[in-house]
Amino acid sequence: MTTQAVTATVGNNKMSRDFTDTATDGTVFLGNNMLDTNSAQNIGILLPNTVINQVQVNYAGGVCQWRIFDSVSQAVSRVGFGSKLNYTCPMETAIPAYSLKKTDILQVFPKAVNATGGDSEVLAWVYAQGMQAQSFQATTAADDTATEMTNSVTGQTIGDGFFGKMLNRICLQAEDGALINDVELIDQTGSVAWKARGNFRLPTAGGKSTQTNLDIPCGVMIQKGWALKVSATTA
């Protein structure tokens, strides 16, 4: 396993603190807790009851997600993507105001750029009505070829984990320099139920976001046997 430095600046318009972790690539959140650079404390211990509205996370290379996770209730209160080091947009790193609890932990899930030609690392935040945002991931095996994404924590398909739920937003991040060709919801017959095309991501030319290759609302009721598939082309 490889590691990379992941850093975060978290706060509001009156204060902020820096956090860091030598994060293990491919380790899904629980093994990658970010600690304050001065006191080596978790965010909830350091800043209990503090209202934050900015979470600026930078990774060294590849892809990266972050979440604020309650270590007792296991609830996830806020989620987002990191951006490549030195490419941060304060408009994109703004979050709905949130009051930190002393049991909160800031965790990250990074993956390095895939070393195999034609293979791409892709992460997604998937939102459905009445559910917490869920992390999905895929490693594509060929350029512009649909690959199924599964839940990063549980390994479930979207048809299993979201059965009977109304999907309302999908956000995708491909590894640095890669293109998201498209994302599809495939029904139990193998037909395309819904599809959207993606883009590059900054700093790659043509990109519009430092964090996502595609961020799109939708309104699709998920059924048993459905799959979420992504196509990407490497840099």
DSSP code per residue over 149-208: EEETTT---HHHHSTT-EEEEEEEEESTT-EEEEEEEE-TTS-EEEEEE----TTSTT--
How confident is the model at residue 81, as a pLDDT?
98
User: What average pLDDT does this structure show over 195-223?
Assistant: 97
Q: Helix, strand or coil for residue 29?
A: coil
Q: What is the mean pLDDT of the chain?
A: 97
Question: Which residue in this structure is represented by tokens 């594509």?
Answer: 140
User: What average pLDDT does this structure show over 157-171?
Assistant: 97
Bridge partners of 79, per DSSP, are 67
pLDDT at 129 over 90: yes
Please give the distance of CA 8 from its chain centroid, rounded to a whole number.
Answer: 15
Do 34 and 72 form a contact (C-beta atoms < 8 A)? no
* pTM for this model (two decimals): 0.96
How confident is the model at residue 162, as a pLDDT?
97
pLDDT in tens, 18-44: 999 999 999 999 999 999 999 999 999
Give the confidence band of 72 by pLDDT, cuts at 50, 70, 90.
very high
How confident is the model at residue 188, as a pLDDT?
95
How confident is the model at residue 222, as a pLDDT?
97
- Residue ranges per domain, the chain? 3-111, 120-233
Over pLDDT 70: what percentage of the chain?
100
Bridge partners of 21, per DSSP, are 6
Give the confidence band of 99 by pLDDT, cuts at 50, 70, 90.
very high
Cα–Cα distance, 192 to 106 (Å, whole number): 37
- What CATH number was assigned to the domain covering residues 120-233? 2.60.120
Q: Which residues contact 188 (CB under 8 A, 6 or more apart)?
A: 159, 223, 224, 225, 226
Cα–Cα distance, 114 to 233 (Å, whole number): 12
pLDDT at 170 over 90: yes
Do 157 and 67 form a contact (C-beta atoms < 8 A)? no
Both structure tokens of 47: 């800043």
User: What average pLDDT does this structure show over 215-225?
Assistant: 97
How confident is the model at residue 138, as a pLDDT?
98
How confident is the model at residue 1, as a pLDDT?
78
